[in-house]
């Protein structure tokens, strides 16, 4: 493999001049000299060392992304959006699965510091545990002090620009859709209690019921953890309810799909016996039978805009938090209740 020394020798320039051309330095180099060095680089198939470039530019071209679980379709689409933008700008993306464990998340932050990442994207919601939050904020302050750009794609309790949707409004809109169909007993499958996103979506559900003059019934708020498996327990709770809800709103699509699956196994028909709705519009939402009524979250755009915000911060631009629009998607999993409950 050719070295910078050989490039400089073949081009008839100093190693310093060759380095300025290779690293696209702002230091003036004549057009003729630059062209000669680039021609030699092509002839020798020279590829500059990323490590050497990082030592000169103080940039590693590495972006760390912390997700709950990269196998979750919600996160996989976001990751693709991040990578589509990062790849075009020559950045390497490192995906870190935190499993929503604060200790794992903290350890990843330490690794990101050691790898001298240029930017860090939090794709999942923040934990509301004060002890865990203090450790995370301390680690983030250390990263920020070294020039690392930090962006969150969900509501977080630490100070950082956020690119997200209005989770309260999204959950409220879905609940209002079910109310408009005539449902009055609407069960809600919650997310992890300690995650900020869960609290916001639960708030939207409660606000819609209260605005309709329906006090939220604690017995109809069922625990969940955003996984397909937690949605599978829905059928048992549905059977045990008296009176039964006429609609089930899962706070994400994974749990809604699990709910439809478990209900079907017991011979309960969706939406004839009970309507089921979700939130996120992951790819599989349109393929489940019946196709899932949900709120479309622009997941790919979330990732893409998150990465673009990182690039803006790194270039010295001022950035602010902002919401992306969500959209109600009505499919065949919801319908008016068959009978009054």
Contacts of 86 (CB under 8 A, 6+ apart): 63, 92, 93, 307
Q: Collapsing DSSP states into helix, strand and coil, what is residue 227? A: coil
| Residue 149 parent element (H or E) | strand 149-152
The CATH class that applies to domain 59-165+299-324 reads alpha beta
Tokens of 341: 């409950």
Using CA atoms, how far apart are residues 283 and 277, in angstroms rounded to an integer? 15
CATH 3.40.50.2300 domain span(s) along the chain: 59-165+299-324, 167-297
> CATH homologous superfamily for 4-56?
lambda repressor-like DNA-binding domains (1.10.260.40)
Calculate helix-pair angle for 253-265, 73-88, nearest 10 degrees.
150
Tokens of 170: 């999204």
pLDDT at 341: 42
Using CA atoms, how far apart are residues 191 and 157, in angstroms rounded to an integer? 17
pLDDT at 188: 98
pLDDT at 210: 98
The CATH class that applies to domain 167-297 reads alpha beta
CATH 1.10.260.40 domain span(s) along the chain: 4-56
Per the listing, tokens 């999942």 go with: 124
pLDDT at 189: 97
pLDDT at 249: 98
Q: What is the pTM of this model?
A: 0.83
pLDDT at 128: 61
Per the listing, tokens 């020039």 go with: 147
**Beta bridge partner(s), residue 97:** 67
Q: What is the DSSP letter of 324?
A: P
Tens place of pLDDT per residue across the chain (341 aa) = 678 888 889 999 998 898 888 777 778 899 999 899 888 888 888 776 655 555 555 678 999 999 989 999 999 999 999 999 999 999 999 999 988 888 888 899 999 988 889 999 999 876 666 777 788 888 888 988 899 999 999 877 777 899 999 999 999 999 999 999 999 999 999 999 888 899 999 999 999 999 999 999 999 999 999 999 999 988 889 999 999 999 999 999 999 999 999 999 999 999 999 999 999 999 999 999 999 999 999 999 999 999 999 999 999 999 999 999 999 999 999 999 986 54
**pLDDT, tens digit (0-9, with 9 covering 90-100), for 183-215:** 999 999 999 988 889 999 999 999 999 999 999
With beta carbons less than 8 A apart as the criterion, state whether 247 and 275 touch.
yes
């Amino acid at each position: 493999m050719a070295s910078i020394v050989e490039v400089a020798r073949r081009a008839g320039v100093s190693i310093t001049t060759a380095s300025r051309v290779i690293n696209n330095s702002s230091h003036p180099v004549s057009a003729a000299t630059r062209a000669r060095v680039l021609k030699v680089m092509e002839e020798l198939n020279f590829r500059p060392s990323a490590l050497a470039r990082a030592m000169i530019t103080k940039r590693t071209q590495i972006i760390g992304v912390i997700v709950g679980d990269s196998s979750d379709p919600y996160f996989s689409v976001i990751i693709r959006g991040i990578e589509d933008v990062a790849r075009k700008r020559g950045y390497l993306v490192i995906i870190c699965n935190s499993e929503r464990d604060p200790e794992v998340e903290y350890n990843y932050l330490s690794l990101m510091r050691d790898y001298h990442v240029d930017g860090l994207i939090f794709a999942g919601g923040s934990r509301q545990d004060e002890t865990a939050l203090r450790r995370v904020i301390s680690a983030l302050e250390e990263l920020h002090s070294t020039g690392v750009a930090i962006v969150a794609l969900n509501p977080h309790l630490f100070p950082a620009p956020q690119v997200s949707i209005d989770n309260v409004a999204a959950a409220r809109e879905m609940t209002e859709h079910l109310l408009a169909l005539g449902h009055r007993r609407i069960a809600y499958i919650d997310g992890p209690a300690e995650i900020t996103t869960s609290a916001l979506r639960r708030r939207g559900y409660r606000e819609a019921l209260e605005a309709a003059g329906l006090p939220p019934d604690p017995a109809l708020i069922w625990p969940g953890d955003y996984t397909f498996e937690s949605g599978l327990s829905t059928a048992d709770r549905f059977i045990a309810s008296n009176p039964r809800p006429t609609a089930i709103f899962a706070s994400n699509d994974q749990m809604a799909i699990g709910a439809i699956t478990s209900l079907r196994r017991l011979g309960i028909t969706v939406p004839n016996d009970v309507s089921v709705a979700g939130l996120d519009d992951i790819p599989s939402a349109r393929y489940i039978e019946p196709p899932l009524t949900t709120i479309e979250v622009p997941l790919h755009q979330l990732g893409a805009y998150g990465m673009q915000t990182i690039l803006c911060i790194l270039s010295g631009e001022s950035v602010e938090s902002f919401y992306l629009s969500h959209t109600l998607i009505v499919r065949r999993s919801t319908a008016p209740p068959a009978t009054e409950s």
